[in-house]
Structure 1
Amino acid sequence: MSANTHAGSAPHYYIPSPSRHPVMVSFGLLLVIYGASRWVNGAGWAAYVLMAGMAVWLTVLFQWFRQAIGESEGGLYSDRVDVSFRWSMSWFIFSEVMFFAAFFGALYWARVHALPMLGNLDHQLLWPDFKAIWPSAGGGITASPAGTVEPFTTVGPWPLPTINTALLLTSGVTLTIAHHALIANQRAKTIFWMWITVALGATFVGVQAYEYHHAYVELNLKLSSGIFGSTFFMLTGFHGFHVFVGMLMLTFITIRLMKGHFTPERHFGFEGAAWYWHFVDVVWLGLYFLVYWL
């Protein structure tokens, strides 16, 4: 929230004037979706449509966020707006919980139901060489007895996933230290620990990129590696994307702190980004245990 807004200073619920931002963001996303769908189907020109859509989308978001920050710093947001922000962020994180629940559910169903079912007596006539062993690691011992899945090696919990777990858990601690420093009105300390948190998030993304290169080149583990490969990359890839988004949130919040925004009493912009980061931490713990250990 604003460094200039205090409880009761804006008694009414602020309603902004009609804006072009929602329409422009929708147009940018339309270009992104259309360009991406045509690009993956072999249309080379669609890559430029995708990049144009991203440019439109990011430009409008920058303008929209700058306007919202200006309204907040101008004292236009009351406690009613603060409550609406908190509910909005809560529902957004809930939607993200459901998003990951779908992929964890797919992993559960494949391992606990689909794989044993395909290995039972009813399917022996169709796939006599099939063995219901998780994970599927090659033709004849996998869900691909015809050999359509190339042999691969799984990624174990050590060392890279464990290192990333330590990085994310540490970042949660440093973010909490920064939050308490902000509440204590220690701005320099807050900024220092926020940059440490951002650096830990960036390191996590770098380590995961190296892990993906190792999986593709040395382990032959790909999206096409059966149900294991698809669920592995969907879960870890989307989580890595969420870490990247959370890192951007924390970066912009830190820049705002350096500009003098937020006070010990009014700082939901900080809190909202912190909620999201802690959510990312919790998801990773479940992913680390279910994907890398089991």
Structure 2
Amino acid sequence: MLAVQQPLASVPDPRSVPENAPEHCPGTESELAGKSAACEGCPNQDVCASGTAKGPDPALPFVRERMTQVNHKILVLSGKGGVGKSTFAAQLGWAFASDPDVQTGIMDVDICGPSIPTILGIASEQVHTSAAGWSPVYVQDNLGAMSVGFMLPSSKDAVMWRGPKKNGLIAQFLKDVDWGALDYLVIDTPPGTSDEHLSIVQLLKESGIDGAVLITTPQEVALQDVAREIDFCRKVGVRILGLVENMAGFVCPNCKTESQIFRPSTGGAARLAKETDVELLGSVPLDPRIGKSADYGVSFLDEYPDSPATSAYLNIIQRLKDILGDP
């Protein structure tokens, strides 16, 4: 049974929910624990109502110990699905690891839609264990990854888990994976502001998160969801490193001409950045070879160094390094 010392105001921390709890469990830290309508018939009702279920999260000391070897922890977020968040996380990891002296890890906490193994070209690999814990799956000597995708019988298997089981796996990724000494840990998250996001923030609360990179596309339907993600970061105290606009125009691979596919009818990411006082790190044009690289599990930056999208990626990544204080 997991609990949090300081739960988010008015939002039950999903890790404080017992594994056999009903769907709308308020969590052991809530004042309604054991007293709400959702608690009727729950086997934990008496324990929760008595207050004896509360206490420090037993995973936190182990997470803190593992994370002492990680220099920078970066979240990649987006309130909207399909905006290229996982692709950006992978390119960020590849870019960091292009320096052989920089150790990089990518942690995929999109439990129900794990795409990082495919994008990195390691979907057929499996997780191995050692005396030090789970070993990441390595793309190259200085770039490792961890995802639930490595644990599924096949890539077509659906992950149908409620919050507590998701959150337990995220805790294991942080405390049981032998990441070793890392310069960067890039954490790819699912769309929205739900269980996985609350869990990663609470579990890394003591270890510290350097900040979050928010991914959007130019159209208003995506900007609205990303605005909610900005609000989430500010409510939970996560620093926003900046905003990245993906699919900002289309680049023809042959003539290099750029045209707008998703027209920024309300001003795009530039307007959102100005209104929310968030730095716009840059805009990445839509190059169809980005999707091709993701399908084949290769680095777009290495395969197509002359693409305008590559230049945009590298400028954004250099700006992130400047913000983080790295050369």
Question: What's the TM-score bracket when you normalise by the shorter of the two chains?
Answer: under 0.3
Normalising by structure 2, we get a TM-score of 0.21
Give 1 or 2: higher strand fraction. Answer: 2
Higher-Rg member (1/2)? 1
Give 1 or 2: higher helix fraction. Answer: 1
Normalising by structure 1, we get a TM-score of 0.22
